[in-house]
Amino acid sequence: MKRIIVAIMVICCLFSVFAQGTEEKAASATLDKVRIAIHSNEGGASLVATAQDQKIFEKHGIKAEITVVTGGVPEMAAMRADERTLDVGYIGAGVAWNPIDSTGNQLSFIFLDCLSNAENLIAKKGIFNDANGNGKYDNDEIFEGLHGKTVYLQTGATPGSWFIQLVDTINQGKPADQQLWLFCEDASYTAGLTPANNNPANRVQVVNYDNSNIPAGMATKDASAVQIAAAYAPSTTTALKIEDVEFICDNSALDAKYVSPSTWVASNKWISENPDVAQRFVDALLEAAIYRYDHIEESMVSADNLAQLPAGSCDSNNLIVFSGEGYKELFGTKSGKGYAYLQALYNLKKGAVPEGTTPKSFEDSFNDTFIVKALQNI
Exposure string (b/e) for 95-112, b if CB count within 10 Å is 16 or more? bbbbbbbeeeebbbbbbb
- Neighbouring CB atoms inside 10 A of 185's CB total 10
- One-letter amino acid identity for 273? E
Strand partners, 358: none
Q: For the chain, which domains are there?
A: 29-116+260-375 (3.40.190.10), 120-253 (3.40.190)
Per-residue pLDDT, 256: 64
Alpha helices in the chain (DSSP H): 2-30, 42-53, 56-59, 72-80, 139-146, 158-171, 214-219, 235-239, 268-273, 275-294, 296-306, 324-331, 337-349, 362-365, 369-375
Question: CA 204 → CA 26, 44, 288, distances in Å?
Answer: 60, 29, 41
Q: How far apart are the first and last CA of the chain?
A: 57
Q: How many residues does the chain have?
A: 378
Which residues touch 332 (CB under 8 Å, ≥6 apart)? 375
| Contact criterion met (CB below 8 Å) for 56 and 27 | no
Whether the bond between 234 and the residue before it is cis, its omega within 30 degrees of 0, is: yes
Task: Give the C-alpha separation, 190 to 229, whole Å.
Answer: 17
Question: CA 52 → CA 58, 96, 296, 301, distances in Å?
Answer: 8, 25, 15, 13
As a whole number of angstroms, the longest Cα–Cα distance in the chain is 103
Q: Which of 21, 56, 17, 19 is nearest to 36 (CA)?
A: 56
Per-residue pLDDT, 193: 93
Which residues touch 212 (CB under 8 Å, ≥6 apart)? 70, 235
**pLDDT tens for the 378 residues of the chain, in order:** 445 444 444 444 444 434 444 343 334 458 999 999 999 999 999 999 999 999 999 999 999 999 999 999 999 999 999 999 999 999 998 899 999 999 999 999 999 999 878 799 999 999 999 999 999 999 999 999 999 999 999 999 989 999 999 999 999 999 999 999 999 999 999 998 999 999 999 999 999 999 999 999 999 988 788 999 999 988 998 999 999 999 999 987 888 678 778 999 999 999 999 999 999 999 999 999 999 999 999 999 999 999 999 999 998 988 889 999 999 999 999 999 899 899 989 998 999 999 999 999 999 999 999 999 999 988
| Strand 120-124 versus strand 245-249 pairing type | antiparallel
Per-residue pLDDT, 98: 98
Question: CA 202 → CA 190, 231, 350, distances in Å?
Answer: 15, 22, 27
Tell me the chain's radius of gyration from C-alpha atoms. 24
The DSSP code for 361 is P
The DSSP code for 199 is -
